[in-house]
Amino acid sequence: MSDNKSEKLFIRKIWDFVKEPVIVVAVFMTIHSFAYAQYEIWPSESMVPTLEIGDRIIVNKYAYGYSRYSFPFGMGGFDGRIMGALPKRGDVVVFADPEGTGRALIKRVMGLPGDEIQVIRGRLVINGKMLPRHQDKSYRYRAPRGRMVSVREFKEKNPEGRAYQIVERTDSGRLDNTPVYKVPEGHFFAMGDNRDNSADSRILSKVGYVPVENLIGRAEVIVMSLYDCDDGKEITCTFGLPLSRFFKKIM
């Protein structure tokens, strides 16, 4: 009997020693899994210049409520959304690939249910209004396969007055003149900021209209970036890293 009591006492002492770290870790994992998540931009350059390959970002998972795509390890065994909310035009969002590949994609929300979207000679038109844009600069950057790409960078402003940066290689590319897209209910229209190098909602046979249910969360901040300082990517670089991108809010 005394041996049994000694064993229980020993186990209790061990638990008293480890319970606080265990609780801290459990709370951290819960917050990480259900409130925030970290993603790495790889290997797509579809969100240049807002996001670069190698950027590590934090995603707010509760911004639009929860669906089965929000939960880790396939735990969300239900349809629809809990505490659901629509994103705003201009939000940068992470969502499950509508093609069912299991990948998480990141794009900017350009159209909401009922909106009419069109691209004319590289200019974005929302509900019949062409968005204003102003060219900031021209530069070259190194694409993932090593070749140099020449682009013009613009500041574009959406109907709500929200401004963000985009890049264009040309205004006469394959996705620079499109038909009118009518965003159906329960869906949104997503585009990459790298307008001539993004497979997005303009390609109905691929990404197309994105179900709101597929939303995972809103991209909030670049925590750090691990790409090298290649030609044209960053002015402020130290030891081969773009330090100006560390802890940078995603606009």
Sign (positive or negative) of CA dihedral 210, 211, 212, 218: negative
What is the DSSP secondary structure assignment for residue 111, as one 8-state letter?
E
- Residue 5 shares a structural domain with residue 53: no
Range of the structural domain that residue 189 is part of: 35-249
- Residue 128 shares a structural domain with residue 233: yes
Q: Is 88 a catalytic residue?
A: no
- Residue 48 shares a structural domain with residue 171: yes
3-state secondary structure of 221: strand
- Residue 18 shares a structural domain with residue 139: no
CATH number at residue 195: 2.10.109.10
Task: Give the Å distances, CA to CA, from 226 to 16, 142, 220.
Answer: 41, 15, 18
Q: Which residue out of 44, 61, 107, 198 is catalytically annotated?
A: 107
> Do β-strands 187-191 and 36-40 pair in parallel, antiparallel, or remain unpaired?
unpaired
- Residue 25 shares a structural domain with residue 68: no
Contact 61, 36 (CB under 8 A): yes
Q: Is 46 a catalytic residue?
A: yes
- Residue 21 shares a structural domain with residue 41: no
- For residue 59, what are the β-bridge partners? 37, 219
* pLDDT (0 to 100) of residue 198: 96
> Tens-of-pLDDT digits for all 251 residues of the chain?
456 666 666 566 665 665 665 555 455 555 556 688 888 888 888 999 999 888 999 999 989 998 888 776 555 566 777 878 999 999 999 999 999 888 999 999 999 999 999 999 999 999 999 999 999 999 887 777 768 889 999 999 999 999 999 999 999 999 999 999 999 999 999 999 999 999 999 999 999 999 999 999 999 999 988 765 544 454 444 445 677 788 899 99
The H or E element that residue 31 is part of is helix 2-34
- Residue 82 shares a structural domain with residue 206: yes
- Residue 160 shares a structural domain with residue 244: yes
Rounded (5°) CA angle 141-91-143: 15
- Residue 47 shares a structural domain with residue 59: yes
* pLDDT (0 to 100) of residue 147: 80
pTM: 0.83
- Residue 92 shares a structural domain with residue 205: yes
* pLDDT (0 to 100) of residue 183: 98
- Residue 16 shares a structural domain with residue 82: no
Q: Which residue out of 44, 46, 70, 201 is catalytically annotated?
A: 46
Work out how many domains the chain is built from and give that number: 2
Contact 207, 201 (CB under 8 A): yes
- Residue 8 shares a structural domain with residue 94: no
